[in-house]
A = this chain, B = another copy of it.
């Protein structure tokens, strides 16, 4: 007996059915928004990730040398791949380019609740618009997908900020501040106690008074106060852009889900403008569910024409935690419309009925084991068949089948002239 790999999961039909329903909802929402599906490879040259994220990223990658001596990696995220694809056809693609796809990614990291080494995301990106409307479309898509899953404004919130707010604020301080270290400290602020947070800011070069002042201005989430405190053009224009995005998001129907959160920085990633993270409003799911934002420099750094970009990537595992907390995760069960049960030598007739029911689009199983009535009925029960159609020799002698409701156990004979039907999905109740 073999075991699967740590952090890699098998999904049996019940769980898979719920996951498929959620993925379908995310993708159907993306399609309505005019995002177009792309298909992308599971492997890329390792250099692409090193160039983007630095040499230390390799420690997190499934990186190896292939049989052609290429340094390759399983894709840890989609953004570099779609950036490569945009650059490869940049002359031919009408802008804005709106793409989505759902697929697994791989990172060698510590396995914990909602985090695996193989994980699924639906990536949604817009390339070629620097306007606030593009950021708002991404926020609106994300809100639309979550509400389509049955979540409401009581369940989730988008904490929105701008990359230059925190960076600009720290840069505006007098001392010799290590901006990256300070951003890392702010990123951790919700996970550590106030004293430890304060110490990290001081270690990053802020004097204690500055640390306290920065903390106060971030906690207030007040844009006017922030602009007055920082007093730099960089912060002022970041705030203007953030306000423009929030106004567009309001028009686009996502305003109710957005709130300003100045301490949101999305780490030290490649973001250049508005950034946001989705959180569980109740706080039960304590980590960010997913995040997104603007990354206007990536395409150019990949050798393409300057091309602004903004995107979001809901991950299925953290999203399932939120949906389960909110009670909207789909039922983990399979469904079956009809089980066609054979009794005696009725295979040909049962097969014909099965075929016609399937042509109507129904989910239909029939006997593949030549077992008896009781065993077939028990199997039909196991696959949650709604209706069992008994095709017995006696039924056929009467030019009929027996239609049985599996929940009540009620059954009735129905003439072959009425079953299988021409259309619809009739059950026992339609014949009783």
Listed in ascending order, the chain A residues whose CB lies under 8 Å from chain B are 1-6, 8-13, 15-17, 19-20, 31-34, 36-45, 47-48, 59, 62, 64-68, 70, 72, 74, 80-81, 84-85, 87-89, 93-96, 98-99, 104, 106, 108, 118, 126, 128-129, 131, 133-134, 137, 140, 144, 248, 251-253, 302-304, 334, 336, 347-348, 351-352, 355, 358, 361-365, 367-370, 379, 382-383
Known: A8-B43, A39-B10. A369 touches B95 (CB 8 A): yes
**Chain A to chain B contacts (Cβ below 8 Å), 14 pairs:** A1-B84, A3-B84, A4-B44, A5-B45, A16-B39, A31-B363, A33-B364, A41-B118, A43-B62, A74-B74, A98-B365, A131-B368, A134-B368, A253-B351
Contacts of A129 in B (CB 8 A): 368-369
Total copies of the chain: 2
CB distance from A350 to the nearest CB of B (A): 9
Known: A10-B39, A41-B10. A88 touches B252 (CB 8 A): no
| Interface of A (DSSP majority class) | mixed
B355 and A253 within 8 A (CB)? yes
The answer to whether A40 touches B67, judged by C-beta atoms less than 8 angstroms apart, is: no
User: What 20 new A-B contacts, CB under 8 Å, besides A2-B80, A42-B104?
Assistant: A2-B84, A2-B87, A2-B303, A3-B84, A5-B45, A10-B84, A11-B40, A12-B89, A12-B93, A16-B37, A16-B39, A31-B363, A32-B364, A33-B365, A41-B118, A96-B368, A126-B368, A131-B370, A140-B355, A253-B355
Q: Give the nearest-CB partner of A52 in chain B.
A: B2
Question: Which of B34, B44, B85, B347 contacts A248, CB < 8 Å?
Answer: B347
